[in-house]
Amino acid sequence: MSSPAVERVATGFNPVYAWFVVIVLTLAYTCSFVDRQILTLLIEPIRRDLHISDTQVSLLGGLAFSIFYTTLGIPIARLADQTHRRNLMAAGLAFWSLMTAACGLARSFWGLFAARVGVGVGEAALSPAAFSLLADYFPPRKVALAVSVYSMGLYFGAGLALMIGGSVVKAVSSAPMHDLPVVGEVFSWQLTFFIVAALSLPVLLLMSLIREPMRRAHGRRAATTDEAPSSWRALRAFMRENARTLVCHISAFTLFGVGINCYLFWGPSMMMRTHGWDAPHAGFVIGSMLFVLGTAGVYCGGWVADRLAATGRRDAILRAALIGILCGVPFLLITPLLHDARLATLTLGAAVFFMAYPQGLPAAALQVITPNPLRAQMTAIYFFVGNLIASGLGPTIPALLNDYVFRDPAQLRYALFSVEAVVLPASVLFLYFGLRPYGASVERAE
């Protein structure tokens, strides 16, 4: 692929091409979440065939993925701030797809754990570079909507993963093992990993059509800093100046992320164990919720943020997030406690909408206040803290509570409620106290 110096396009806003870039990156993010979340509805056959516990399954979905996704995110983001972002994302997409296929070769817990680590390594190259790229293709007042549309890929991917996974579980119950050339005999759930890995190939071709834009230099810092614009010294100076904003921002969205990841990973199992759903039904219903209501929630969050920004509010993005989270807290708390399956389904749908609502806003908020040469790195630092806790520990905490406190698979809903009752109020408080510091950070950036 061509060098950054050769393949740069002007930063004048071209809405048609800019939204084409959003669509391609959204498809890439969708593929990443299909590969990441396909494990969710394969829990029971994997537990059966690999003879592992709920806690071990949660480590495959959480720590195995997030440990290198977060730790490698910062050096990879530094590359994104200095090199060709499109090429970096394409390399990451190819690698995580290869490692998803490797999940289908796993014969033990540790083999599957290692392959999941590889998926995390590849996916670490996508979002920091994508957010930085979108901030150069869109003017500041439109960044929140663009990033929110990109973030829809999470719910496209999670929804598709559940629907695909539900169909696979139905087939697994009666299908024999498959005998593949070279690979040998594999279970049906292993074959699923090969199939979803292949979905990324068309997106890789589309990504070659993305052109690297010129980097915008918003804010006084880009013009006045004496040190290298993407240096560690510049990053530390920015973080010191905006310390209160960053502490409140990262704490609020990390805690809310714990709540989201608990639902994404354990929601289908909770409905299956509490209300007697089978895997195909859980996959179709919850997958459809994520695909439709989750997507609508993400878009709505970006739209509200843009409308508030149009009124001149400097804290528009965080205020929009606070509104959505406050509306979602009652549904997220009550759903695990309901005994009526139909009522629980309705409240779960509302919970999905509101937990998706702020999905694109944390990264958009950072792009607005961060100097261009530091955007990918600052996003990666947010991911390092947020994903290490939210993705790494989020699925594991309910599993530990269920295995060692409640000691009954049927009590999973109480383990889920216990976590949500702690993290959601704390998230709201951090977000509320972060509004004023964030507004000051936006003013400095302007």
pLDDT in tens, 26-37: 889 888 888 877
From CA 18, how far away is CA 38, in angstroms rounded?
30
Torsion of CA 26, 27, 28, 32, to 10 degrees: 100
Instruction: Output the domain CATH number for residue 385.
Output: 1.20.1250.20
Q: pTM of the entire structure?
A: 0.70
Q: What is the pLDDT of residue 219?
A: 41
pLDDT for 336: 93
Minimum mean pLDDT range among 222-236, 241-255, 396-410:
222-236
* Per-residue b or e along 396-426, where b marks 16 or more CB atoms closer than 10 Å to that residue's CB: bbbbebbbeebeeeeebbbbbbbbbeebbeb
Question: Stretch 339-360: mean pLDDT, rounded?
Answer: 92
Q: Are 4 and 212 in contact (CB under 8 A)?
A: yes
The reported pLDDT for the residue numbered 225 is: 40
The domain tally of the chain equals: 1
pLDDT at 81 over 80: no
Supply the pLDDT for residue 182: 66
Residue range 354-382, pLDDT digits in tens: 989 988 788 888 888 888 778 777 877 88
Determine, yes or no, domain membership for 219.
Answer: no
What does the pLDDT average to over 328-338?
Answer: 94
Kindly state the average pLDDT of the residues 389-418. 85
| Residue among 350, 370, 368 nearest 300 (CA) | 350
Rounded to an integer, what distance in angstroms lies between the CA atom of residue 91 and that of residue 61? 23
Give the highest mean pLDDT range of 158-162, 318-322, 439-443. Answer: 318-322
More confident residue, 173 or 180: 180
The reported pLDDT for the residue numbered 7 is 40
The stretch 402-408 carries a mean pLDDT of: 85
Residue 309 lies in a domain: yes
């995580």: which residue's tokens?
96
User: Positive or negative CA dihedral for 311, 13, 124, 116?
Assistant: positive
Higher pLDDT, 342 or 76: 342
pLDDT band of residue 221 (cuts 50, 70, 90) is: very low
Looking at per-residue pLDDT, the higher value among 231 and 253 belongs to: 253
* pLDDT over 90 at 326, yes or no: yes
Arithmetic mean of pLDDT over the chain: 82
What is the torsional sign of CA 93, 95, 96, 98? positive
Confidence band, pLDDT 50/70/90 cuts, at residue 218: very low
pLDDT for 179: 67
Residue 107 has a pLDDT of 84
Asked whether residue 417 carries a pLDDT value surpassing 80, the answer given is: yes
Nearest to 148 by CA among 31, 38, 29, 322: 29
Is position 226 within any domain?
no
Q: Three-state SS string across 5-21, please?
A: CCCEECCCCCHHHHHHH
How many whole angstroms separate alpha carbon 30 and alpha carbon 25?
A: 8
Q: Is residue 256, in this structure, part of any structural domain at all?
A: yes
pLDDT at 180: 67
Q: What residue numbers bound the domain in which 143 lies?
A: 11-213+231-445
The percentage of residues in the chain with a pLDDT greater than 70, rounded to a whole number, is: 89
Q: What is the pLDDT of residues 263-322, one digit of tens each?
A: 888 888 889 889 988 878 888 898 899 889 988 998 898 889 888 888 888 888 899 999
Confidence band, pLDDT 50/70/90 cuts, at residue 1: very low
Please indicate, yes or no, if residue 205 is contained in any of the structural domains: yes
Overall average pLDDT of the 398-417 stretch: 87
